[in-house]
């Protein structure tokens, strides 16, 4: 009697209260062993009088939760999906961004973009950027997270300080970096000279060899917080017993880390990798603030973000006649498609190697 024993657990997917036709899974103390059986007799009479409302139907039970998501979904559709679709549409014209001259040119913008060298040069810079930052996040970030996981004194303070660059506006902090790096009024060169490293002093952001490394360094300083937080969360989810068990079995700290901890961090590894990929291929502020919209010096720090900005709005605010909005949108669409494909591939690849604790 009573299907209570086979009743599924009462999860979030089923928000509507049980109707009088069903038994409610019993949650009263002492009745767990006979789930569903004990309360049957008394509940239905009261249930019948209270539950004649909109949530009675089985449709509402199964899909009622979507109503809760509707407002956010509406915002998402209006502000993200609709403009994206409109952008796809605009990229098929030759609109300059000013005035109302629209001529349909189909995929002309895409052809031009895919055969233009600056696009590939910028993409290559993004790739170098990504590889370096990724290596940095997964080594330095992980190391710091491991240290913090050992709960040293002032752990909260360190964590806050490390995450602060993420929170502060890069436009403001980037501007301060340009002042530090300036060969005329900066702090870095005098500091190097003061400790006898004067031969290293140079015009950092104008140097064709060092400009991109310096920009990458500033970005690394800015995003280190993400790696620390993500890895720290991952580490705190690993049960201590596993590491202790390995220790009892005679594993060294390094072996424990390599064989037990790190494999269990693979969800964090996945999240961080995908996050970094998207962050770095979208990078704009750090480059714009440090080296300007032209990707000084001579395109060494030009990235896809500055390329699109420059193409969409013209350079230096003087030549709106050189704005090419539709062409810039086409470049953005290309970037979007490539990034979506690579992100999907990354997630699929990395998920396969994830291990559940």
Partner 1 sequence: MRSGFSKSALVGACLACLAWPAQAADQVTLTFWHNHPEWKERVQKILDKFEAANPGIHIQLEEIPGPDYSPKMNTALAAGEAPDIIELRPGPEVRAAEEAGYIVELTGKVDTSNVTKSGLDAAQIDGKLWAVPMLGEYTVGLYYHKDVFAQNGWTPPKTADELLKLCPVIKAKGIAPMIAPSQDGVIPSFLYALAASSILGADGLAAVRRGERKLTDPDVLKASKFLQDLYPCFEDGAIGTAYVEGKALFALGKGAMMEGGSADYAGFTTTNPKVNLGVVPFPALEGGKGSTVTGMEGVFAINSQTKGKDAALKFLNWMLGNEPAQMVVDTITLSTNKNVTPSNNETMKEMVEASKVNDVRVWYEYPEVGSVFTVAGNNAQALFLKEMTPEQFAAALQASVDPKAK
Angle (CA) 65-68-73 rounded to 5° is 110
Q: Least Å distance between CB 105 and partner 1?
A: 18
- Residue 217 three-state SS: helix
Q: Where are the beta strands (DSSP E) in 43-83?
A: none
Q: For residues 97 and 165, which CB has a smaller minimum distance to partner 1 in the complex?
A: 97
> Could you say whether residue 172 binds partner 1 (CB under 8 A)?
no
Q: Least Å distance between CB 300 and partner 1?
A: 9
Q: Tell me which residues in 123-142 interact with partner 1 (CB under 8 A).
A: none
Q: Least Å distance between CB 344 and partner 1?
A: 32
Q: Least Å distance between CB 176 and partner 1?
A: 13
What Cα–Cα distance (Å) separates residue 324 from each residue in 69, 96, 118, 202, 287? Answer: 38, 4, 15, 36, 21
Q: For residues 24 and 302, which CB has a smaller minimum distance to partner 1 in the complex?
A: 302
Judged by CB under 8 A, the stretch of 42-50, 71-79, 160-168, 181-189 that binds partner 1 is: 181-189
The token pair at 295 is 């990707």
d(CA 288, CA 174): 9
Helices 211-236 and 170-181: angle between axes, nearest 10 degrees: 130
Judged by CB under 8 A, the stretch of 23-31, 76-84, 251-259, 309-317 that binds partner 1 is: 309-317
Q: For residues 137 and 301, which CB has a smaller minimum distance to partner 1 in the complex?
A: 301
Q: How far apart are the first and last CA of the chain?
A: 38
Q: Tell me which residues in 79-118 interact with partner 1 (CB under 8 A).
A: 96-101
Contact between 204 and 188 under an 8 Å Cβ cutoff? The reply is yes
d(CA 309, CA 302): 11
> Could you say whether residue 209 binds partner 1 (CB under 8 A)?
no
Which residues are near partner 1 by CB under 8 A? Answer: 96-101, 178, 182-185, 203-206, 208, 211, 291-294, 296-299, 310, 312-323
């Amino acid at each position: 009697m009573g299907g209570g024993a086979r009743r599924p657990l009462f999860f979030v997917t089923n928000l509507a209260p049980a109707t009088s036709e069903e038994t409610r899974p019993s949650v009263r103390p002492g009745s767990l062993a006979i789930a569903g059986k004990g309360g049957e007799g008394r509940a239905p009479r009261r249930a019948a009088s209270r539950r004649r409302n909109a949530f009675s139907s089985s449709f509402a039970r199964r899909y009622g939760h979507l109503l809760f998501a509707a407002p956010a979904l509406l915002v998402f559709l209006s502000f993200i999906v609709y403009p994206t679709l409109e952008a796809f549409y605009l990229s098929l014209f030759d609109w300059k961004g000013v005035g109302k001259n629209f001529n349909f040119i189909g995929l002309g913008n895409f052809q031009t973009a895919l055969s233009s060298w600056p696009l590939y040069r910028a993409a290559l810079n993004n790739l170098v950027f990504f590889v370096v930052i990724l290596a940095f996040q997964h080594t330095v970030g992980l190391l710091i997270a491991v240290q913090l996981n050992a709960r040293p004194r002032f752990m909260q303070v360190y964590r806050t300080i490390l995450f602060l660059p993420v929170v502060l506006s890069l436009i403001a902090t980037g501007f301060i970096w340009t002042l530090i790096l300036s060969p005329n009024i900066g702090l870095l060169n005098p500091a190097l000279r003061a400790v006898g490293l004067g031969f290293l002093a140079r015009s950092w952001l104008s140097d064709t060899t060092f400009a991109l490394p310096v920009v990458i360094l500033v970005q690394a300083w800015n995003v280190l917080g993400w790696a620390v937080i993500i890895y720290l969360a991952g580490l705190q989810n690993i049960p201590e017993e596993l590491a202790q068990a390995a220790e009892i079995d005679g594993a060294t700290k390094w072996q424990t880390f390599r064989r037990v901890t790190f494999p269990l961090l693979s969800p964090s590894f996945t999240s961080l990798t995908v996050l970094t990929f998207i962050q770095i291929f979208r990078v704009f502020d750090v480059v714009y603030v440090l080296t300007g919209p032209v990707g000084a010096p001579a395109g060494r720090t030009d990235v896809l973000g500055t390329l699109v900005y420059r193409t969409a709005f013209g350079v230096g605010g003087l030549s709106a006649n050189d704005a090419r909005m539709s062409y810039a949108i086409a470049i953005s669409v290309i970037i979007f498609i490539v990034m979506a494909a690579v992100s999907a591939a990354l997630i699929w690849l990395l998920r396969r190697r994830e291990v559940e604790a």
